[in-house]
Copies of this chain bind each other. A is one copy, B any other.
């Protein structure tokens, strides 16, 4: 386990000093070194404080620049919108003005409508208008992710003029990685790497340095698709353009890292039967709400699958050993199904399931099931054979039931999510219930029907 930590600049003792100050309360003054702590770290500290009063102590004592970034780095479930609402409008508006417009829109989007309107009214009307525009987009689309803050230059200007223009625009935008090139109608022509501009002859027209865009997003592009394309082409940012080609905004790599993490969490939780509405740090009642419906559905499906057992009570009364065999064979089918589901859903998520034949993976899982099922069937069948005093009929029941259930599990585990995905349904939600109900059912039916026939 070589996992030496990175060296991070934050000093835990300073964070504890801040915590003590917050607890002391009543219009504290913060030491100068606070400016040197990353807002991400202050955000964690604020989120961990015991009361909203203590949280507000810190926020009120921080400069506008740091307080606003602290809110931006906090999470929705840490009630950052409530904190912002608790500030008076003029301070709240000052913080919102410090933020990139996408971050401001995210915060406002989490507020109660009344508080949101109050804050928007306190902002200069141009900025309020921009943020209102952003609030109209679904938060899981490119429009919801993008910022309108970007650096763009005219295709017809010279490298020298472009650098002067970038210098001007750059004063207002903190970090920028891409310089976009537009025509006189603000239609996107491409990008010019800042490094190329600096390296170029000052008289060279920007036109001659333009690199065409590898990919652009539209406001309604799904955020998962944005993440996929940026990851695939290693893009530090992607422009968002209207259908007419006008440059509306950009999405940068840091938003995409957040999207990839959020989408992955969603995939893992869905596969496990946890609603994607549930935050990782949700309170217990929210977790109950998110999970109970799925468990209830599972109770119904597991009950239905097991109900075949009710038709075979006579056989079980005679051969009680079957009550031991059935859950084991159903469990191994379930495990095999989970393996095939996880591999298939992950292939779909990373966009790597798409050979010339979409159903190739299904054939592979059947082959895997044929071999794994045979090996497991033989092992368990030998055990059953010897345990039941050398009865070859029991050995045969176990071998055939286990083998067939594992083949079905591999087949369904690969087929169901592939079909759901092609139908445009998120495969992680429904696949797991369906596949596990099927493997339970096949396990029980195979054991019981073979036993009725062979042991009768």
Check A133 for interface membership: any CB of B closer than 8 A: no
Residue of chain B at shortest CB distance from A137: B2
CB-based contact B269/A268 at 8 Å: no
A236-B236, A268-B271, A368-B284 known; A258 vs B278 contact (CB < 8 Å): no
Check A401 for interface membership: any CB of B closer than 8 A: no
A218-231 vs B, Cβ < 8 Å mask (1 yes, 0 no): 10111011100111
A148-171 vs B, Cβ < 8 Å mask (1 yes, 0 no): 000000000000000100110011
Residue of chain B at shortest CB distance from A260: B260
Rounded to whole angstroms, the CA-CA distance of A317 and B318 in the bound complex is: 7
Which residues of the other chain, B, contact A313 by a CB distance below 8 angstroms? 320-321, 323
Which residues of the other chain, B, contact A371 by a CB distance below 8 angstroms? 284, 288, 292
A269-302 vs B, Cβ < 8 Å mask (1 yes, 0 no): 1011110001011011001100110111011001
CB-based contact A332/B5 at 8 Å: no
Interface residue from B199, B214, B356 paired with A9 (Cβ < 8 Å): B214
Which residues of the other chain, B, contact A299 by a CB distance below 8 angstroms? 328, 332, 376, 379-380
CB-based contact A320/B317 at 8 Å: yes
CB-based contact B328/A233 at 8 Å: no
Q: How many copies does the complex hold?
A: 2
Interface residue from B278, B323, B379 paired with A316 (Cβ < 8 Å): B323
CB-based contact B376/A295 at 8 Å: yes
Check A7 for interface membership: any CB of B closer than 8 A: yes
CB-based contact A233/B274 at 8 Å: no
CB-based contact A320/B316 at 8 Å: yes
CB-based contact A257/B268 at 8 Å: no
Closest Cβ–Cβ distance, residue A305 to chain B (whole Å)? 8
Interface residue from B5, B224, B330, B372 paired with A295 (Cβ < 8 Å): B372
| Chief secondary structure at chain A's binding surface | helix
CB-based contact B258/A231 at 8 Å: yes
CB-based contact A272/B380 at 8 Å: no
Rounded to whole angstroms, the CA-CA distance of A291 and B365 in the bound complex is: 11
Closest Cβ–Cβ distance, residue A309 to chain B (whole Å)? 4
Please choose the segment from A88-96, A109-117, A338-346 that sits at the chain B interface, where 4 or more of its residues have CB less than 8 A away: A338-346
Check A54 for interface membership: any CB of B closer than 8 A: no
A317-B320, A320-B317 known; A9 vs B212 contact (CB < 8 Å): yes
Check A350 for interface membership: any CB of B closer than 8 A: yes
CB-based contact B364/A287 at 8 Å: yes
Residue of chain B at shortest CB distance from A278: B343
Which residues of the other chain, B, contact A274 by a CB distance below 8 angstroms? 339, 342-343
A105-127 vs B, Cβ < 8 Å mask (1 yes, 0 no): 00000000000000000000000
Residue of chain B at shortest CB distance from A379: B299
**A-B CB proximity, top 10 nearest:** A272-B342, A234-B254, A3-B222, A323-B323, A313-B320, A284-B367, A309-B324, A302-B331, A264-B264, A316-B320
Rounded to whole angstroms, the CA-CA distance of A74 and B281 in the bound complex is: 38
Rounded to whole angstroms, the CA-CA distance of A160 and B291 in the bound complex is: 60
CB-based contact A440/B331 at 8 Å: yes
Which residues of the other chain, B, contact A335 by a CB distance below 8 angstroms? 273, 294-295, 298
CB-based contact B288/A372 at 8 Å: yes
CB-based contact B326/A327 at 8 Å: yes
A268-B267, A376-B296 known; A328 vs B302 contact (CB < 8 Å): yes
Please choose the segment from A56-64, A79-87, A190-198 that sits at the chain B interface, where 4 or more of its residues have CB less than 8 A away: A190-198
- A sample of 11 cross-chain residue pairs with beta-carbon separation below 8 angstroms, ordered by A number, consists of A8-B229, A40-B233, A175-B193, A194-B195, A231-B258, A264-B264, A268-B268, A281-B347, A292-B375, A295-B335, A323-B323
CB-based contact B194/A194 at 8 Å: yes
Which residues of the other chain, B, contact A198 by a CB distance below 8 angstroms? 163, 166-167, 170, 194, 198
